[in-house]
Structure 1
Amino acid sequence: MVERIVDAGRAVLLEHGYEGASTNRIAARARISPGSLYQYFPNKDAIVAEVADRWTTELHARISRVFTTALEGPGWSSSVRVTVLEMLDALGENPRLLRVMVEQLPRTSGSRLAEFERRIETLFAVWLRSNRAHRSGRPLDAIAWMLVRTVENVAIAYVLEHPDIDREVVADELTAMVTTYVQTVL
């Protein structure tokens, strides 16, 4: 039953957005009574949170796997490019859901998306330290935060705005931007 409700919640979010979603619409979409829905979820926000958590968990697993493997690889520049391409692909699989998640849902510091960003930042900062960037005296945690946010925001904007720029060009330019900046730290 939980799966039906979550699937219905996702469909209603895609169709009506956050403001237009309601427990009545979600219950109708799941073909259950509102009373039955309340046995599993106390309100709309709980359902939306579960939809967001599942989406973020899938995204997290996919990007983290590629990012971690890439950081262990020999080619720094190609590692960044592989990660950027994977992010573009993962975010691009459902642009409508991405739009709802980014533009309509309340953003909290304890969300899974925020946790995912912190994990990537930490991995990147550890990688910088392991490559002796700590000797530069530069603020590695700040650098990791800025680079993760830059890549994330450009990737999201690319998927949502559909600019007349080839995906490979976006990947190449983000890779050049990140690697050039990181070279000043190493």
Structure 2
Amino acid sequence: MPYPPLVRKAPQQARSREMVERIVAAGRTVLVERGYDAFSTNRVATVAGVSPGSLYQYFPDKAAILAVVIDRYWEEVAERVAASLADRIGAFGPSMVRDTADALLTALEADRELLRVVAEELPIQRSKERRAALERRVRELAATYLAARPDLTHRPSPAIAAWVVVNAVENLAVRWVLDQPSVVSREQLLDEMVALVGGYLLA
């Protein structure tokens, strides 16, 4: 996986790549276990089993480690949702919407505690910038499909419709995973998402 510009020295050798991966994994662990406010390079170095000096060879500060951890988290979520959407692109309908929403829920449920930190503890701007990658990737797929199949929606703009649908489903999914409301089960939520998307596209 390529490393962002914030990584001080891009690892070339296997040993260096393994070191960076240990630091990133440790950063994820510290973020989940200690939260954003207690996140520090010293704690990450301790969990990774490396010296602070070794850590600083690759990451200039804790913000650089956080950037990689958060980018990877949203990339993992985006990969699962985009793959589900792409696999079902030829069979649009309630089942496709349900399967894609289910893939999103499953991806978010895979690390609920990291999602909680990312969604509720990180400064708004930092979280918003990273989360945008998920929204943009899925939105582009949805807009492309809606533009190719104008018979599936009465909405005048595929791009606008995709933006509304993706944001509505994503925000519902995030809140359900974090809040675990007793008023609605997982299956009921999926039913409501299908009704919401279907009703909107055909209105």
The normalised TM-score by structure 1 is: 0.90
3-state SS of paired residue (1:83):
helix
Change (3 A) 1:97 1:131: same
- The CA deviation string for residues 83-139 of structure 1, in whole angstroms up to 9 with x for no partner, is 111111110111100011112234359945312211211211121111126995723
Segments of structure 2 that go 5 or more residues without pairing to the other structure are 1-18
For 1:91, the equivalent position in structure 2 comes to 108
3-state SS of paired residue (2:58):
coil
Deviates most, 114-123 or 21-30: 114-123
Could you tell me whether the CA contact under 8 Å between 1:6 and 1:47 is conserved in 2?
Answer: yes
Change (3 A) 1:20 1:109: closer
Change (3 A) 1:22 1:65: same
Q: Are residues 1:56 and 2:90 paired?
A: no
1:122-141 equivalence runs, <5 A:
122-132=140-150, 138-141=156-159
Once the 2 structures are TM-superposed, how far is the Cα of residue 35 of structure 1 from its aligned partner?
A: 1.1
Q: Are residues 1:3 and 2:21 paired?
A: yes
Change (3 A) 1:133 1:2: same
For 1:155, the equivalent position in structure 2 comes to 173
Name the CA distance, whole Å, in 1 between partners of 2:189 and 2:155: 31
Once the 2 structures are TM-superposed, how far is the Cα of residue 172 of structure 1 from its aligned partner?
A: 0.6
For 2:95, the equivalent position in structure 1 comes to 78
Name the CA distance, whole Å, in 2 between partners of 1:85 and 1:35: 43
3-state SS of paired residue (1:39):
helix
Name the CA distance, whole Å, in 2 between partners of 1:17 and 1:178: 35
3-state SS of paired residue (2:169):
helix
Could you tell me whether the CA contact under 8 Å between 2:32 and 2:113 is conserved in 1?
Answer: yes
Q: Are residues 1:13 and 2:37 paired?
A: no
For 2:197, the equivalent position in structure 1 comes to 178
Task: State how many pairs are aligned.
Answer: 183
Segments of structure 1 that go 5 or more residues without pairing to the other structure are none
Moved over 2 A (4+): 104-113, 133-137
3-state SS of paired residue (2:66):
helix
Give 1:69's match in structure 2, choosing from 87, 93, 103.
Answer: 87
Deviates most, 80-89 or 64-73: 64-73
- The CA deviation string for residues 16-58 of structure 1, in whole angstroms up to 9 with x for no partner, is 1111100111111112211111001111011011111221221
Identity score, percent: 43
Could you tell me whether the CA contact under 8 Å between 1:134 and 1:140 is conserved in 2?
Answer: no
Could you tell me whether the CA contact under 8 Å between 1:91 and 1:159 is conserved in 2?
Answer: yes
More helix by share: 1
Could you tell me whether the CA contact under 8 Å between 2:155 and 2:161 is conserved in 1?
Answer: no
Name the CA distance, whole Å, in 1 between partners of 2:193 and 2:116: 21
